């Protein structure tokens, strides 16, 4: 699982918690819906500029996104190494 997967999972989690649609976030971030979906699926990398646009579109602080990325990474590590 790479960095793009952690970012994608974090973005998806936040978006769903906020009750936002992929299409709305993609449009507000100036990303194609196809590219945005690939980001959430962990199949495409996200530039820092695009990450900031996604945060702005979801009306969250970038620190919230990076906190969620860290949480996704920790969950992965716990599963990978059997740490509970």
What is the pTM (predicted TM-score) of this model?
0.87
The rounded mean pLDDT for the chain is 92
Specify the residue for token string 């530039």: 47
Average pLDDT for consecutive 10-residue bins of the chain (84 residues)?
83 97 98 97 92 97 95 86 72
pLDDT digits (tens, 9 = 90+) for 53-66: 999 999 999 999 99
Burial class (CB in 10 A: 0-12, 13-18, 19+), 82: exposed
Beta carbons within 10 angstroms of residue 24's beta carbon? 13
Q: Among residues 12, 70, 21, which one has the least CA distance to residue 41?
A: 12
Q: Domain map of the chain by residue range? A: 3-81
CATH (residue range 3-81): 1.10.260.40
Helix (H) or strand (E) holding 6: helix 3-18
Specify the residue for token string 């059997």: 82
């Amino acid at each position: 699982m790479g960095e793009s997967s952690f970012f994608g999972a974090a973005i998806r989690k936040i978006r769903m918690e906020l009750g936002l649609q992929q299409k709305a976030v993609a449009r507000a971030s100036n990303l194609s819906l196809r590219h945005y979906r690939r980001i959430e699926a962990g199949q495409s990398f996200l530039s820092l500029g695009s990450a900031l646009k996604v945060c702005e579109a979801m009306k969250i602080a970038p620190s919230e996104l990076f906190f969620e990325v860290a949480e996704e990474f920790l969950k992965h590590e716990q599963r990978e190494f059997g740490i509970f």
